[in-house]
Every structure is written in structure tokens, then in C-alpha cells.
Amino acid sequence: MTDIEKPKRLSRNIRVLSLVSFFQDTASEMLYPVLPLFITSVLGASPAILGLIEGVAEATASISKIASGRLADLRRRRPLVAAGYAVSSISKPLIGLAGGWPLVLVGRFTDRMGKGMRGPPRDALIADDSTPANRGRAFGFHRAADTAGAVVGPLIGLGLYQLIGQRLRPLFFIAFIPAALSVGLIFLVRERPHPKPEPDETQVRWFGLHPARLPRSYWKVVSLLGAFALVNFSDTLLLLRATDLGFGFTGVVLLYVLYNLSYATLSYPAGVISDRVPRRIVFAVGLLLFGVAYTGLGLINTSAWLWVLFPVYGGYTALTDGVSRAWVADLVPPEEVGTALGTYGGIAGVGAFIASLWAGLAWGSGGQAPLLIAGVAVLLLAVVLLVSGRRLDARV
């Protein structure tokens, strides 16, 4: 079958993995908009502690992504994916048991460890079942299904919150149910043999990675994406900004649902477009939306603007999340795709840790300063990428 015909078809594995992600994200996103309120109001922690928790969580995911990405190239991928989803499932009730923020930190550490374990092997399975001609479509479909869970999950959480007397803690235990279902669905994935890297003991190793095997074009792109991550702090701080502007729990959840609805709706079209034009262009447009959203959130003084800016922010995520994974996978040979995706995830995660830490410390009473700094910086980065980034368009 030709590459022209393939873009119209998505494999069974991609559809199953998308369903797995839907259920896991339904579980996770029942809780994500709850976390800022749970940590700062129920447990009495500060915004700096919230930033620390999320920063450590993302750093944990980063380190585990580097290791799991390499293992995904050397071994079978499905067991790594199953283990990662199982570990994340256990973290939900663990956070529900917390009487103080340290146990929340442990729970988020566990959750992100699982995310790091499963992410690169799962993305490598998607890359295995796609080609450069339809890879954007494949990752876009997966991100759309994953994010549909982020629309359904908060709505379920909000309904349950009202049914159980506006208590937050029980939600962490109920969320275990769809999380466990996602683990069971993984065993419907049919992994096929994938090419493995040839051992070369003359190369210097770094955490099991042979850096020389990844081309210069890959490192250029990943360096750029890593620089962006330094100002891309945790979304929990954006939800905290909504709280600062007067939104209660219900308003924050509905705002988060609106963001994810925008993200889910636009992810698949963004992936399809990235198969037809350079992925760099789609990603850069996404950065423009990021800059507009962050700058706007830093400037506004009335809550009504949140209903406009959060869907804009969802557009940013749709145009960058799946597209960046497809972009990275395009730049490396098939036997190194797990390593490439894991290393990219690790670098981006370290950047997210730094971003969440400095933003949490600089948050103050409303968060305007870190939002404006990040927004303006990314607007400039997007313009540079649009004007002078053609050398980043190479594919293997």
C-alpha cells in the first residue's frame, strides 16, 4: 500500500491505545482540577508548595521517560506500557489518603513515574504503526481520544462532587475504577517485532543512550523544544489564576473542561495538517496561541476573559502536543524512535520542573509576573521559528 493511501487508515493498535488513554485520562482528569483546591484549601499548602509538587512530579516523569524510551527500543514495548498505566492507577487512592502535602507529593511522584514509564513505549508503538505520511494524523487521533477523557473526567468529577456532599477526598478513590479499566485494555494491543539498535561498544553511553546515533537535526529540534519548556509551567497554576480571579470549584472545573474540549476538538485536524505542511509551522502557530493565552491571563483583571483565553490555550496544546511527537519521530531511524521520544520527554520534563518551580516561587498574590514573562518570551520564540526555522524540517 502506498503512503498516499495509508493516511486514510489508522491501525487497530492505534485505536486501542487511544481508548486506553481515554480511560486513564478520564481518571486522571477527574482529579487534576481538584488538586489545586485540595492542596491549598483542604491541606493548607501555599502556591509555592503547589509549584514544587508539580515540578517534582514532572521531573520524575522526565527521568523515567529517558530510561523507558531506551528500554522501548531494546525490549518489548507493551509490558512497559502496562506497567506504567498500573503504577499511575495506584497513585489515585494514595493521594486520597493524604493528611498533608508530603503524601500528595508521593502520590504525584508515583503517578508521574507511571506516566514516564508508559509514554515513550506507547508513542513508539504509535510510530511503529504509522509512516511520516500519516504520523501526524495518528498522533493527533491519539491526543484527541486522550483529551476526550479530560472533557468527560472533570464533568464526572463535578457530578460526583455534588452527589457526595461536596467532598473532595472520595473522588480520588472513585477515579481508580476507570484507571484500572485502562490497564486491562492494554492487553488487546498486538505488538509486532520492531527493529532494534545495533550494539556499538565504541560509543560513549549516557544512561544507556548512544548520543551519536541521534542525528544533529534531532538535537536541534529537541533543544528548541527544551528551551520552550523552561517557561511552560504546570497548568495547575493556571487554574490557581482562575481561582484568584474569583472562580469557585464548579467554575474552575467547567473552565478546565472548556480548555480540554478545545484541545480534543483541534488535535486531530492539527495532526492531519502537519502531515501536509511542515510540522514546524503548525507547532509555531501553537506557540503563538500559547503566547496570547499567557499574556492575556497576565493582563486581565476580570474573570469573564477566562472563557476566551482557556479555549485559546487549548488550541495551543492541540497544535503542539501530538505534532511535536510526530516531529521528533520523523527525525530518527525506526530503531531509535523510543530513545528519541524518551529523551525528548525527559528534556521537556526537566524544563517543566524548572518552569513550575520558578513560577510557583514568583507567583505572589495573582501570578501576573510569571504569566507575562512566559507569554512574551514564547511569542518571540514563535516568530523566530516561523521566520528562520526551515532547517528544522528534515525527515529521515
Architecture of domain 6-190+214-392: Up-down Bundle (1.20)
DSSP 325-385: HHHHHHTS-GGGHHHHHHHHHHHHHHHHHHHHHHHHHT-TTT-HHHHHHHHHHHHHHHHHH
Q: What is the pTM of this model?
A: 0.84
Q: Which residue's C-alpha cell is 500500500?
A: 1
Q: Which residue's C-alpha cell is 508521593?
A: 106
CA distance 180 to 160: 19
Q: Could you give the percent of the chain with pLDDT greater than 90?
A: 49
For 308-336, letters b (16+ CB in 10 Å) and e give: ebbbbbbbbbbbbbbbbbbbbbbbbebeb
CA distance 220 to 224: 6
Residues whose CB is less than 8 angstroms from the CB of residue 15 and which lie 6 or more positions away in sequence, other chains included: none
DSSP 112-136: HHHHHHHHHHHHHHHHHT--TTTHH
Helix, strand, or coil here: 87? helix
Q: pLDDT at position 212, please?
A: 46
pLDDT (tens place) for every residue of the chain, 396 residues total: 344 344 457 899 999 999 999 999 999 888 877 787 788 878 888 877 877 887 787 778 778 888 898 888 888 899 999 999 999 999 999 988 888 888 988 998 899 899 889 999 999 999 999 998 999 999 999 999 999 998 999 899 888 888 888 888 899 999 999 999 999 999 999 988 877 776 554 444 554 545 447 888 899 999 999 999 999 988 888 988 998 898 887 888 889 899 999 999 999 999 999 999 999 999 999 999 999 999 999 999 889 999 999 999 999 999 999 999 999 999 998 888 999 999 998 888 888 888 988 998 888 878 899 999 999 999 999 998 888 777 777 665
CA distance 330 to 249: 42
Centroid of chain to Cα 159: 25
Domain ranges in the chain? Answer: 6-190+214-392
Helix, strand, or coil here: 259? helix
Q: What would the grid cell of residue 324 be?
A: 511535536
CA distance 393 to 327: 9
pLDDT digits (tens, 9 = 90+) for 200-212: 544 445 545 454 4
